[in-house]
Amino acid sequence: MSKKFHIAIVGAGTTTLFLLHELLSLDDCALSRIVLTIFEATADAGAGFAFSKDAVHPDLLSNNAPEEIPDLLTSYIDWKKTCDTTSQSNRKVERRADVGLFFKHNYQAILAQLTQRGLSVYQRRAVIQDLEKAEQGYRLYADDWLTDSFDRVFINIGRERAAPPLKGTEYPYPTSHYSAKAYRHYNVIGSSLTAVDCVVGIANKKGNFCSSNEALTFSSHTDWYIRLFSSHGVFPRVWYPSDDKRYFSAYLRRLSNQHYQTVDEAYKSLLLPALKAHTPSIFLQVSHMSFDQMLTFLAGNEKSIDPWQKLQTELTSTASEYSQWPVILEAFLETIEFSNLSGEHRNKNEDDTLHALIAFHTAALPYESCLKLNALHNAGRLEVISRHIDEDELAGNTREDSVYIDGTGVLPAINKSLTAEKIKQALKVSGFHFSSNNRTPGERDFELLCDGKPSGVYLGSAYLQPDRWNTPGLDTCKEIAQSLRKSIEQTLYPKQKIRLPFQIKVPN
């Protein structure tokens, strides 16, 4: 009898959903050799936090156009045609609630197909707190109990959820926790996508948006307003279609030689020539700067801009150099993620500062959310204040009609959940390094190394991967899932480079 391989998957978000879809391509014999146990801390298996019930209401938007959502058993567009048409609209991007339903529907349907074809699947509602090496493989601590051992462990969790919000503030999600209460003064800290979710969530609960004469207005019968505190004082740029990034990604891949020692080396060879060709006025300003200096300089430029003037300009203009260059930056970061920057050595503070600058420049707001921000400002309900909020100010808030909300991106904590540090301690490593595992150029393997050898632990979380510069999206989750599926194939058939085709059944 063929050996059974016991695989644990920690987290049932979008990467795990896409991995299960990838497993449909294996033949029945291969599937019958796998025993899969999926651990998920929440009730939203298949959706991931961004599309879970806490993060979707009321009427919050994704950053995904319908055609940008990866196909599963059907395309998102075809699936949407079978659903209640009340959610149909002319929006440029999709509602998170709709995307979440699509993912959860496919998660259950894919699991049903896999089990019918011989895959053994066990689902466990549990928080994975830690892992430890066993005599063979690894054991997991799940809600304070120790599991049996697994041959392979795939860690597909999203962003770490162990940190509390700023002292004296509310978590951003779900927005109903504070929007439903009778506060008069809402103080949102940050101006990122999370902060905008807070603002839109409050407004949706407190009043109504109305389209008239091709303009969006806002009205409410109660007395309240929102102050949004931001150190840089501007909103992220307006969302752009992924076709723009695909064009620049292809352009940069043609320029790339895949062998850069540092980010600055790649910046000079790739990003600066692209800026010179497509955004020449920005190139002239930054051509003498390092990568870090360029990001800092351009962030400083935005601090001097009136946020409402900037927002209005972006809403009414089709494209400008200042709207195009962040797209080029994002394509550049995506390109260098496939390069081994072996000469790069940064301390944590440098790394955190750089990632914060990158997140600031590459964030993008749905067009419809920008219209709502503008309507709230015109109605006198929203003010942007360009300054930092410290803990002393938060501690001094004693007004019962006032609340502070941490919109900097922190998510509701899951107590004792698995973290990067716990993974490093279990493997007894100081940092994450990946196996090459005979992959072809351009392919990535996410198996972690321990003492220079493959460990059997795979880091399927883009948020924990040290060489990720971009904020991960659905395309990143799909890319990781494809690599993890190939790793499973190599585990089942270690001496063969194969791809086992199977016709995926589409349910009626």
Q: What is the pLDDT of residues 8-44, one digit of tens each?
A: 999 999 999 999 999 999 999 999 999 999 999 988 8
pLDDT in tens, 444-474: 789 999 988 999 999 999 888 877 877 888 9
Structural domain boundaries, residue 485 = 5-162+414-492
Cα-Cα-Cα-Cα dihedral sign, residues 406, 409, 415, 419:
negative
Supply the CATH number for residue 188's domain: 3.40.50
23 plus 151 within the same structural domain? yes
Nearest to 344 by CA among 354, 335, 356: 354
Select from 379, 406, 433 the last residue of a domain. 406
* 59 assigned to some structural domain: yes
- Does 193 lie in the same domain as 276? no
- 120 and 35 in a common domain: yes
- Clarify whether residues 248 and 378 are in a common domain: no
The string of DSSP codes covering 348-416 is HHHHHHHHHHHHHHH-EE-HHHHHHHHHHHHTT-EEEE-SPPPHHHHHT---TTEEEEE-SS-----TT
Do residues 114 and 224 both lie within one domain?
Answer: no
216 phi/psi in degrees, rounded to 5 = -100, 130
Q: Per the domain annotation, does 498 fall within a domain?
A: no
Q: Is residue 70 part of a domain?
A: yes
State which of 377, 406, 435 marks the end of a domain: 406
* Parts of the chain with a pLDDT under 70: 1, 58, 84-90, 162-163, 240-242, 258, 301-304, 317-322, 338-351, 415, 436-443, 495-508
Domain of 484, CATH number, reads 3.50.50.60
Q: Do 54 and 124 lie in a common domain?
A: yes
The pair of three-digit structure tokens given for residue 218, joined into one six-digit string: 């806002």
Contact 480, 15 (CB under 8 A): yes
Residue reference for tokens 């979008």: 14
Q: Is the same domain home to 379 and 333?
A: no
Q: Is residue 111 part of a domain?
A: yes
272 and 241, same structural domain? yes
pLDDT for position 273: 94
Q: Specify whether 395 is located in the same domain as 373.
A: yes
pLDDT (0 to 100) of residue 441? 55
The residue among 353, 377, 406 that closes a domain is: 406
In a domain, 169, yes or no: no
131 with 180, same domain: the answer is no
Q: Are 310 and 446 in a shared domain?
A: no
Q: Kindly state whether residue 171 falls inside one of the protein's structural domains.
A: no
Same domain? 375 vs 457: no
Q: Is there a domain that residue 437 lies in? A: yes
Number of domains present in the structure of the chain: 3
pTM above 0.75, yes or no: yes
Q: Is residue 168 part of a domain?
A: no
Distance from chain centroid for Cα 267: 24
Amino acid at 341: L
Name the one residue in this structure whose structure tokens are 């014999």: 29
Q: How far apart are CA 12 and CA 34, in angstroms?
A: 17
- Helix (H) or strand (E) holding 420, with range, is helix 420-427
